[in-house]
Structure 1
């Protein structure tokens, strides 16, 4: 059964797959509690820890979790200088693309006599940890899953099935903090502009990628943006495992030319442009104005006249006002 599923996935271009028993992840209880006490849990995370550690809440009959890595790196996307958009945003919305692949795999599992549900990102489960247990890759000092073939340039998806497939956890929770595969390398720590990752701790609430996605940012956070419009790749670009990362074989993740325009295009975009272009990408979910705001902040850093971007949006006008006082 396992081999059949692996062969089917590979026929779709998915060759980084792992299997673990569908079980409660009780070893994460203390970890999540400490993060909550320290104020490290943000609004994008599920506050109910029971939902985060119990895959059976999604399928009570679940016997196996299939973890799959979806590579998205596209070398063609690196031929131009960065315009402030993270590599992952410069292609079709991964939620839709990954879900499409998962649905195909679930349909195949049903043809084998099993039931299955596919999950991607917008669920409560700890996807990186599940991928780690399944042997998809290891979790590096930058807190990202790093695969052998594609480095950290992967999206993650899971399938819970009631098929009982022979498998076991390949890693242990305690091993993560040893960073065995990273060795003495700390390049990602030095590359992080906000010190979200450092020798002492990991604080996602000051991660530059997180700041670009917040609806309200303060003066300090505006200064930290470093010209980023959406997302951040500094720790990935500094990682030696990404130097030899292979291009994605998945056609839907080819780089979109219109995601490589200069910042001015996004600063002045209207609803029509957003709906036609940006809404179908991985940053479209956040809406037009957050992206416009960040693009305007980038232009202000470059010394451009940002007054011309004023309009009927109080949200945008407020940030232009703040920037103009500096």
Structure 2
């Protein structure tokens, strides 16, 4: 998917001209403009210095194809944050919308509205990353399952983390190192609790939300934490009803009891008590199947069912973090 940029005039003075050329000419990304040509007028005022400024202005005026230009009707009189927001929201497009901002503070007043319209802010330091899509990895379920197992295996080998938020941060960093786009789901408005960020789930994006990971630490067969986290993963934190989700259990009980813990956990999956789940939703649980694992310290079980008519595959990872 290509990008569609709306450039804050000050942004164009903060990045190398060659980067703008690469984004618009080489990569064929689109640019938002307004129907009264006010943005181009502001660009002309800003780009009046070095020869590179003239080169960029010439590029913007004469070397971008008409199909790359997304011209919108803007009623805001001055080119400010509201003007740029109206330009970005005035036309629907399947391209990813981005506001290129010179710094974090200038357009802070419209951050909530940018989030509401799924518009991403980019800055001079990460502009090139925004149009080099190969820097982030696409989501494919079977491949991701293997990478998640490998990440947990690395964590078990290191055994550096002790608190749940430390485990979660390490897991997120492992997946980021594998080039997945990892976000804390709460930071995107999905949480309805007051829990700290460390105890909340992780989300994997590939343009859109693709899967959610809900981690939990368990010492044994505690029922309440299990049902709370299962409910969060399949219902509370999943309003879009993404099909694939992952419940990652950090087992911190006695090492000799890990196999029994995993067996008992699977037994529970076969006879779930739906009265312990959100009673405003309709639940069905069809089957669970043990999947192949490369490590004896990690067990993987796939659970199939539906919530309110939407099918899901919840993959449970039990990872032995016992001392």
Higher relative contact order (CA 8 A, sep 6+): 1
Q: Same fold (TM over 0.5)?
A: no
TM-score (norm 1): 0.24
TM-score (norm. length: structure 2): 0.24
Larger Rg: 2
